[in-house]
Amino acid sequence: AQTVTQSQPEMSVQEAETVTLSCTYDTSESDYYLFWYKQPPSRQMILVIRQEAYKQQNATENRFSVNFQKAAKSFSLKISDSQLGDAAMYFCAYTNYGGSQGNLIFGKGTKLSVKP
Amino acid sequence: EAQVTQNPRYLITVTGKKLTVTCSQNMNHEYMSWYRQDPGLGLRQIYYSMNVEVTDKGDVPEGYKVSRKEKRNFPLILESPSPNQTSLYFCASSRSSYNSPLHFGNGTRLTVT
């Protein structure tokens, strides 16, 4: 069974600095998708970034980028120039490509605090 | 505005009293899903639906029922709620099950006493 592991329950970063959130996953599939979702105190789940496993190039969305290491099954999220609004829970998620009927599997989350 | 609408946002009920949490999307999405979020456990899938009249169990389906009679609606039914179902519930939808991002509702905070 596929699993997603976020080993950092909590992280803290100084405003304007860079922070990296870790995510590892376990799968025997070769085609899949990976996501990072942000959940601010408002509870809304917001898609931050996604990566297709067949693409070697790391995805980037403005200040957010990933380091996708397929062989190591690692998918870390880097937030550059951290802002106070980045404070939130961050969830890493995995899903098969055309596989098990769409079960999106989430990690347990990392709570990010941003210090002014 | 494209959105997933869940109701209610907050619900307090007693053990054994049947309840329904509604979910509706206006994006003509085929795929809909229910998750529960508990501290330290992340989000876990309860049920999902690939299309009208097609539903299947997720990781934690015990104690829940769903139906998909119309494409836009996917209600979550708790026939006999118990305190261990106290949680934050999310409905989500997408165009397909694997390569499209999920659109989430705003969540329903359920407390069962």
pLDDT score of A95: 86
Residue A13's identity, in one-letter code, is V
pLDDT at B94 over 90: no
pLDDT score of A102: 54
CB pair distance less than 8 Å for A44 and B58: no
Instruction: Say how far apart CA A105 and CA A59 lie, in whole Å.
Output: 20
Mean pLDDT of A77-83: 97
Q: Is B76:B21 a contact under the CB 8 Å cutoff?
A: yes
CB pair distance less than 8 Å for A98 and B98: yes
Please, what sign has the CA dihedral across residues B87, B92, B97, B99?
A: negative
Provide the shortest C-alpha distance from residue A14 to chain B (in Å). 24
Q: Which two tokens stand for residue A5?
A: 């592991």
Residue A115's identity, in one-letter code, is K
Instruction: Say how far apart CA A58 and CA A52 lie, in whole Å.
Output: 9
B40 near A CB under 8 A: yes
B42 near A CB under 8 A: yes
Contacts of A31 in chain B (CB under 8 A): none
What is the percentage of chain A residues whose pLDDT exceeds 70? 94
- Tens digits of per-residue pLDDT, A8-52? 999 999 999 999 999 999 998 888 889 999 999 999 999 999 998
Instruction: Say how far apart CA B96 and CA A46 lie, in whole Å.
Output: 18
Q: Which residue of B has its CA nearest to A36?
A: B101
**A interface residues, B as partner, C-beta within 8 Å:** 6, 9, 32-33, 35, 42-45, 47, 50, 52, 91, 95-99, 101-109
- Tens digits of per-residue pLDDT, B35-86? 999 998 999 999 999 889 999 998 899 999 999 999 999 999 999 999 999 9
- Which residue, A65, A79, A68, is CA-closest to A23? A68
Q: Is B60:B69 a contact under the CB 8 Å cutoff?
A: no
Instruction: Say how far apart CA B41 and CA B22 lie, in whole Å.
Output: 24
Q: Which residue of B has its CA nearest to A107?
A: B42
pLDDT score of B22: 98
Look at residue B101 and give its three-state secondary structure: coil
Q: Is A33:A93 a contact under the CB 8 Å cutoff?
A: no
